[in-house]
Structure 1
């Protein structure tokens, strides 16, 4: 009976970031990476190159990461209006980015272990075959990076937000390109100058850089998943916008992220002159990051409390 009249009072809970272009291009990168992975594993087995085998299985972790990215996009889209999720699926992409960052850390750890083992027990390398396949891998990574970087910027401009899911996929491509580049440098040094120890050393250098990338992505995504609050200056500005109107005093305020780019807020205030909640929401109209606002208004009688 009242559904039609209440529609304008209902909140939208669809905070998921729409990036169909990014999802499509991630699929292209997944296919390229999977083909290269199979080629490196087969070539490593045929030519007896542990370096190629290691890089092939290393690329398998990136294939898994791209699958996570694509799954996160589809899951967020499919369940965007599912009432089982209180504030929608805006954090699914952030969770995908977090999971991929953990995968990056695992890759770095495995690289360090493998590199240390090779320093202790050097392996015989068929340089020509290894260099050839590594160059092909690097070219594939450049193409993949171009696809994801172009869309990474396109997504930011289009949605005015941060796509941690796509950023994680881009980080994996960069990590793979870095390891391929370092491997080529090490292989060339080993072939022409006999510096075989550079191969495992480059692996350690690459692992350190990848660890830093992983840490940066974890640092971005963790506060969102843990309902981290807004910046203190932003919170105080919100509070000030309400309190400078009439004799309002904010008694309680909670602000947290419901996606990478949207905040929800619950604000309780007391005042001698209560107004409709829409009045207080209008005071916050300039804070565009606030996508879901709940306001509680309490009348403060003189004999009950002092403002």
Structure 2
């Protein structure tokens, strides 16, 4: 039995040496810088809101400030994950590099998002039972400023797949960036819903609308958090989606050569990077390099181990 490892085509930063394990996403550094910028904007806004809220006696301002702080804390998880993954990209203790650190961070962040949804839902239910008097003008101004800030941040964190060299590859998403983006979006959504509720409340005197719309927001945010948990959890436990076409593609290439795929393992290494272990059985034994070369055309396959055994047919 002969087996060998290779990186058919590696999209990470080039290192000296033929075999590195850097599986960071294409835009790792750019995304890291943008996340820190968004944290700076959010933290500044948060301090301004809490200070002004205290000075003007506006509960809406203060509450929004503290609400922003939870999202800022969650975005710190993303920022530190980028930093850690980059600093340890060549640490040999990570057998397959640090590409999945972002998924681990995003899973943690999704948990925070779920808690925020629960808190918004709970607070809204409490307000339905005990309505709070709302200073509408104050609150609308706060929500509008908050929304403007969040939209700027959302633009900064939006993942543009047109710039992906292999954006079509299954698993090319940077879940860490997506987690930070969803936190900004959740904040923006609560601002939009608050503006709508306050506007109607002011025009029609429907103060019950604020908590009712709060519950709607909580449900939407909970749904986002669930999809993020599901997608990042799948990466962490090496689960391959049913619609993933990498496995069938590898089988097709090997079996077109008259060989049999005895065993195939596929997993995600980082955004846009996949690994495979392919065990090939063939009557006519070909060298490992032959199959490796054939499989080098598979997009997004960044680490490949091939073993060839004689078939006992």
TM-score range, shorter chain: 0.7 to 0.9
Residues 229, 254 of structure 1: 8 Å contact kept: no
Structure with the greater relative contact order (CA < 8 A, sep ≥ 6): 1 or 2? 2
Query: Which of 28, 37, 52 is equivalent to 2:46?
Result: 37
Runs of at least 5 residues in structure 1 that lack an aligned partner in the other structure: 1-6
**CA separation in 2, counterparts of 1:155 and 1:15?**
20
Q: Distance in 2 between matches of 1:290 and 1:92?
A: 19
Q: In the alignment, does 2:252 pair up with 1:243?
A: no
Q: Which of 166, 171, 177 in structure 2 is aligned with 1:166?
A: 177
How far 1:68 sits from its partner (Å)?
Answer: 1.1
**Could you tell me which residue of structure 1 aligns to residue 20 of structure 2?**
12
TM-score after normalising by structure 2: 0.86
Match of 2:208 among 179, 193, 197: 197
**Correspondent of 2:98 among 89, 94, 103:** 89
Equivalenced residues, count:
293
Match of 1:117 among 126, 148, 151: 126
| Distance in 2 of aligned mates of 1:175 and 1:145 | 10
Whether the 8 Å CA contact 1:16–1:90 is kept in 2: the answer is yes
**For 2:164, what is the secondary structure of its paired residue?**
helix
**SS in structure 2 opposite 1:186?**
helix
Q: Is there any run of 5+ residues in structure 2 with no aligned partner, and where? A: 1-14
Distance 2:166 2:106 in 1: 17
Q: How does 1:70-149 map to 2 (within 5 A)?
A: 70-149=79-158
**1:106 Cα offset (Å):** 1.2
Report the alpha carbon displacement of residue 285 of structure 1 after superposing the two structures with TM.
Answer: 2.0
**Distance in 2 (alpha carbons) for counterparts of 1:297 and 1:195:** 72
Q: Of Structure 1 and Structure 2, which has the larger fraction of its residues in helix?
A: 1
Q: Which residue number in structure 1 is paired with residue 61 of structure 2?
A: 52
Distance 1:209 1:297 in 2: 50
Partner in structure 2 of residue 153 of structure 1: 160
Deviates more, 1:226-235 or 1:14-23: 226-235
Measured in 2, the distance between the counterparts of 1:260 and 1:157 equals 10
| CA distance in structure 1 between the partners assigned to 2:133 and 2:305 by the alignment | 66
**Match of residue 3 from structure 2:** none
Contact 1:156 1:163 in 2 (8 A): no
| Segments ≥4 residues shifted beyond 6 Å | none
Alpha-carbon offset, residue 232 of structure 1: 5.7
Q: Could you give the per-residue CA deviations for residues 74-123 of structure 1, whole angstroms, max 9, x where no partner exists?
A: 11110001111110001112222222222211111110000000111111
Mapped contact 2:166–2:300 kept (Cα < 8 A): no
Q: CA 1:115/1:44 → structure 2, altered by over 3 Å: closer, same or farther?
A: farther
**Farther-moved stretch of structure 1 (126-135 vs 25-34):** 126-135
The residue that corresponds to 1:283 in the other structure is: 294
Q: Mean Cα displacement is larger for which, 132-141 or 81-90?
A: 132-141
Q: Residues of 2 paired with 1:112 and 1:100: CA distance? A: 18
> Following TM superposition, by how much is the alpha carbon of 1:53 offset from its aligned partner in structure 2, in angstroms?
3.4
SS for the counterpart of 1:258 is strand
Distance 1:192 1:176, change over 3 A: same
Task: Work out whether residues 42 and 68 of structure 2, in 8 Å CA contact, stay in contact via their aligned partners in 1.
Answer: yes
Q: Which has the larger radius of gyration?
A: 1
Q: In 2, Cα distance between the equivalents of 1:172 and 1:40?
A: 18
Root mean square deviation, CA, Å: 2.3
